Structure 1
Amino acid sequence: MEEIIVTSWMMYFDSETGASSIELYNASKDQYRVAPFMRIPLPWPFSHGMASEKGKEMENIFRPTVNEILENFNIAPSSIRATKMWKRGIINTAKDTVVVPTDDKDTTRWTLAADEIRHAILPWATEVNLEFRVELRNECLMYKDVSTALSYDEDIRNIVSKIQAPMLARVEDLIAGAWRSVTFDGRQPFGVPHGVPVSNTPTVMILVSIGARNLWESVEEQLCRVVEDIIPSGMSISLEILPSNFVC
Structure 2
Amino acid sequence: MSHHMFYIEVPEEMNTKKRKREYNPISSDEYDTDSGVCSIEEFNAGKDKYQCTMLGALPTPYPFSQGIASQASADVIKKQGDETQKVLSKYAITFSGSMKRKLWPKARPADAIDTLVIMTDNTDSQNWKDACTDIYALLLQGGLVGSTIKVEIWNEALRYKDVSFAIPSDDPRLIQALKSVQDDVAKIVLKDLPDIVTSIAYHMRGPSQGLVGDRKPTIMVHVKHKSRHLFQVVEDKIDDLLSSKDFPGITISTKILGGEIKWGTNKITETYDIRHNFIPTPHGQPKPFLLNLTS
TM-score by length of 1: 0.88
Query: How far off is 1:130 after superposition?
Result: 7.0
Corresponding residue pairs, total: 236
Q: Name the CA distance, whole Å, in 1 between partners of 2:225 and 2:205.
A: 21
Deviation of 1:197 after TM superposition, in Å, equals: 2.7
User: Are the structure 2 counterparts of residues 38 and 10 from structure 1 closer, same or farther at C-alpha, using a change threshold of 3 Å?
Assistant: closer
**What displacement does 1:241 show?**
0.3
Quote the residue 1:221 is aligned against: 236
Instruction: Name the % identity.
Output: 27
Identify the residue that residue 5 of structure 1 maps to in structure 2.
none
Q: Which residue of structure 1 lines up, in the alignment, with residue 153 of structure 2?
A: 136
Aligned match of 2:129: 111
The 1:219–1:114 alpha-carbon spacing in structure 2 relative to 1, beyond 3 Å, is same
What is the distance in 2 between the residues matched to 1:78 and 1:107?
A: 15
Where in structure 1 do 4 or more consecutive aligned residues deviate above 4 Å?
A: none
Aligned-partner Cα distance in 1 for 2:217–2:209:
18
Task: Identify if the C-alpha distance between structure 1 residues 10 and 95 changes in structure 2 by more than 3 Å, giving closer, same or farther.
Answer: closer
Secondary structure of the residue that 1:203 maps to in structure 2? strand
**Matching residue of 1:3:** none
2:138 corresponding residue in structure 1: 120
Question: Any unmatched runs of 5+ in structure 1?
Answer: 1-7
| Counterpart for residue 282 of structure 2 | none
The 3 A distance-change label for structure 1 pair 211 and 228 is: same
Which segment is superposed worse, 40-49 or 224-233? 224-233
By percentage of residues, which structure has more helix? 1
Letter in 2 for 1:228: S
Tell me the equivalent position of 1:188.
206
- Distance in 1 separating the partners of 2:28 and 2:151: 19
1:37 matched to 2:20? The reply is no
* Whole-angstrom distance in 2 between the partners of 1:36 and 1:90: 21
- Per-residue CA deviations over 1:41-78 (Å, capped at 9, x if unaligned) read 01111122322222321232122111111011111111
Normalised TM-score (structure 2): 0.75
CA distance in 2, matches of 1:228, 1:48: 40
Secondary structure of the corresponding residue to residue 80 of structure 1: strand
Q: Which residue of 2 aligns with 1:233?
A: 248
Report deviation, 1:245. 5.6
Whether the 8 Å CA contact 1:204–1:238 is kept in 2: the answer is yes
Q: Is the 8 A contact 1:162 1:230 kept in 2?
A: no
Q: Is the 8 A contact 1:97 1:134 kept in 2?
A: yes
1:197-247 deviation line (CA, Å, top 9, x unaligned): 311111100001112212221111101122222342321111100011689
Shift in Å at residue 131 of structure 1? 0.5
Task: Please state how far the C-alpha of 1:79 moved relative to its aligned partner.
Answer: 1.3
Q: Supply the distance in 1 between the matched residues of 2:130 and 2:28 (Cα, whole angstroms).
A: 19
Q: Structure 1 CA distance, aligned partners of 2:99 and 2:41? A: 25
Question: Structure 1 pair 130/213, CA: closer, same or farther in 2 (3 Å)?
Answer: closer
What do you get for the CA RMSD once the two structures are aligned? 2.0
For 2:89, the equivalent position in structure 1 comes to 71
Are 1:95 and 1:133, in contact at CA under 8 Å, matched by a contact in 2? Answer: yes
**CA distance 1:231–1:238, shift in 2 (3 Å):** farther
Contact kept, 8 Å, 2:199 with 2:260, in 1: the verdict is no
Which of 164, 168, 186 lines up with 1:147 in the alignment?
Answer: 164
Residue 163 of structure 1: how far off its partner (Å): 1.4
Is residue 202 of structure 1 aligned with residue 220 of structure 2? no
